[in-house]
Amino acid sequence: MTDKTYDPVHSPKNISRAFLVCWVALFAAGFAMMLKLSFAGTLKAAFFDTTSPLNSAALIGGILGITYLGFTVCNTVLPPFIDALKIKRVLFAGLVIFNVGFIIMIVAEPGTTEAYDTLWLGALLHGVGWGCIESVVNPVVPSLYPDDKAGKLNRLHTSWPLGWMLAGLLAISFESASFDWRYMFALSLLPACFALVMLFFVQFPPTERVANGVSFLGMCKELFVKPGIFVLIGIMFFALACETVPQNWLDIVVGQISGIKGTWLLIYVAVAYLFARGLAEFALKHVHAVTILLFACLAIFVSVLGLAMTSHPVVTMAATALLGAGAALLWPNMLAIVSERYPNTGSLGIGLMCAAGMASGYVVVPWMGELYDGFKVAAAGGSEAFQALATESPEWLAANVYAAARSFELFSILPLALAGYFLIDYMLKVRKTRQQKKTELRSKYHYAK
């Protein structure tokens, strides 16, 4: 009788349940984020366009961005301790905090002095709860499937676009029926509540670091024994900016350029996410994760430029699909590379990667808002000239279209630079490692003869 036979935690049934709970929890995060992004323009108009017209984009960018700060702090501090704190407890707390954040945002009142602070606090708690969720699911799944880390991480993250798709369709349906945005935000509470109930029927095995017998101090020491992980952490910051910035500004920026409702584009992106991550699980049997990351960055570069340079609906939809396919591949495959190259860094290594990725959202998403505001004011001929424009007038729309296009054009430099990095990584590490393995196999073959 094997260990897995008499150990209920490692039984195939419990492993499948543990994966499903992680999948549903991440679905809840994707569902809620889609609702927030779908109504970014609505929140901007309801809370800031009339009270702060010159910096309304920066204000909504700050609220969108603070979510990533909460996520970043949580993933910097929490992951090393999830085994000590008990994985189930951390995930339970994360789901509760996640819902509390949305409840706070729901009670915000437009036109009040504390409106921005209320939205800001709710978005921050949403980020903390989301951070707790990902602090658990990202290190747990590689420990559930140590022989198929990249494939199962890609499968795990198919839940995110499915949550997006469902939330986006609901957002469009209820918005056309003139439902208040508060009712839509209230819907985001349901998937997290479902995941909370599922937690009572599952047990989580220890993370890979604990299973390998590596102590807490050994995990921390591993960061400095193999400092190459810090290079990947830095790359993660810029790679996730390539995912979060276009997503967060799709409703506002692309809507201004093409006139297509941003929520439809986000749903379209979610479909591309789903297919890309589903296909990646099979593609990884034939190509390396670095190759997939190289393709992802080139796809984002082409798509962002396409979105900035045209208003034609066909080109816009094609570029959006390419954006979704590229962005979908960044997060799970970056985590897979760290887990494979630095397994003994455990949840600390993965947590730092997640923190770096979402720190870019906190820094770069608001920066895009400031960039957008600067371009629209410049296009209008100065701040006084822009303030004199009537909202939705041809001149007001022209200034916003110009700002949207210039912002995305400037941003396209980043994914191109990252594509260069991944090409170098493939040449110096992946191909070299494969050649060494082939040489070793030939040597063993000749020795056997």
Q: Judge whether 204 lies within some domain.
A: no
Q: Is 205 contained in some domain?
A: no
Burial classification of residue 334, based on how many CB atoms lie within 10 Å of its CB (0-12 exposed, 13-18 middle, 19 or more buried) = buried
The predicted model scores a pTM of 0.75
Please report whether residue 227 resides in a domain. Answer: yes
The per-residue pLDDT for 177 is 61
46 and 110 in contact (C-beta within 8 Å)? yes
Which is nearest to 210 in space by CA: 49, 306, 51, 86? 86
- CATH number for the domain harbouring residue 236: 1.20.1250.20
Which has the closest alpha carbon to 418: 215, 240, 181? 240
Residue 208 falls within a domain, yes or no? no
> Is pLDDT above 90 for 417?
yes
pLDDT computed for residue 1 by the predictor: 39
Kindly list the distances between the CA atom of residue 214 and the CA atoms of 59, 222, 348, in Å, as whole numbers in the listed order: 45, 10, 12
**How far from 407 is each of 253, 304, 305, 316, 336, CA to CA, in Å?**
8, 10, 10, 16, 31
Average confidence (pLDDT) over 308-312: 77
d(CA 370, CA 376): 10
Type of residue numbered 17: R
**Residue 86 pLDDT > 80:** yes
Query: Which DSSP symbol is given to 3?
Result: H
> What is the extent of the structural domain holding 372?
3-199+214-448
CA distance to 46, 211, 343, 420, per residue, from 224 (Å):
49, 21, 14, 26
Averaged pLDDT for residues 90-104: 93
- The separation between the first and the last C-alpha atoms of the chain, rounded to the nearest angstrom, is 38
How far apart, in whole angstroms, are the C-alpha atoms of residue 136 and residue 190? Answer: 20
The total domain count for the chain is: 1
229 located within any domain: yes
CA-CA-CA-CA dihedral for 444, 446, 447, 449, to nearest 10: 120
Alpha helices in 310-393 (DSSP H): 313-328, 330-341, 346-380, 383-388
The angle subtended at Cα 78 by Cα 74 and Cα 83, nearest 5°, is: 150
**pLDDT, tens digit (0-9, with 9 covering 90-100), for 237-249:** 999 888 888 776 6
Residue 108 belongs to some domain of the structure: yes
Highest-pLDDT range among 91-95, 188-192, 314-318, 427-431: 91-95
Give pLDDT, residue 230.
94
Q: Nearest to residue 288, comparing CAs of 184, 449, 156, 433?
A: 433
Q: Which two tokens stand for residue 143?
A: 């420990």
Locus of tokens 């569902």: 31
Cβ within 8 Å of residue 265, ≥6 positions away: 250, 251, 254, 255, 316, 317, 320
Is residue 209 domain-resident? no
C-alpha 72/C-alpha 345 separation (Å) is: 18
Asked if 270 and 324 touch (Cβ cutoff 8 Å), the reply is yes
Task: Summarize pLDDT for 147-174 with one digit per residue, the tens.
Answer: 888 888 889 999 988 998 888 888 778 7
CB 168 within 8 A of CB 270: yes
Report the distance separating Cα 303 and Cα 326, nearest Å: 9
% of the chain exceeding 70 in pLDDT = 89
